[in-house]
Amino acid sequence: MKAVVAFDTMWHSTELMARAISEGLVEGGATVKVMPLGSSDRSEVVTELLDAGAFLVGSPTLNNNMFPTVADLLCYVRGLKPKNLVGQAFGSYGWSGESVNQLVRELEQMKVELVGEPAKVNYVPDETALARCKVLGRQVAEKIAEKLR
């Protein structure tokens, strides 16, 4: 019942989303390891993934792409071929918002079973968006529990 929430953020919007998703995960009974990539090394994230049932990844959009630290993490994780994970992508954007779709494609390539819908927010998440993030966290926690039965 462990979930890893790895993300980076530019103006704290993606961070707010990560915190709300984490709250939902905890409400759903999961143990959560929140890993901001500004202060967590990719090797630390992989170590936490070894005994996790879920992997959620968040990124803002920067120059029509996911944030460089997130791309670096996913390249590293993909090469290690993780197994039996559920998860989802999330992120904020100012104009175009490509990062979340890119994250979804990366997770699909890693064979992560996607739960619910990706969380994508234009600019700063409002209370409604944060509530949707919490719901996503609960959905993922439920899926982890279901797989453990």
pLDDT of residue 50: 95
pLDDT of residue 81: 93
HSE toward the beta carbon, residue 145, CA cutoff 13 A: 13
For 106-143, how does the pLDDT look when each residue is reduced to its tens digit (9 = 90+)? 999 999 999 999 999 999 999 999 999 999 999 999 99
Q: Which is the CATH superfamily of the domain at 2-148?
A: Flavodoxin domain (3.40.50.360)
The residue among 118, 112, 113 whose CA lies nearest residue 100 is 118
* Full-model pTM: 0.97
Q: Where are the domains of the chain?
A: 2-148
For 32-87, how does the pLDDT look when each residue is reduced to its tens digit (9 = 90+)? 999 999 999 999 999 999 999 999 999 999 999 999 999 999 999 999 999 999 99
The letter for the amino acid at 84 is: N
Q: How confident is the model at residue 92 (pLDDT cuts 50, 70, 90)?
A: very high
Around Cβ 50, how many Cβ atoms within 10 Å? 10
| End-to-end C-alpha distance for the chain, whole angstroms | 11
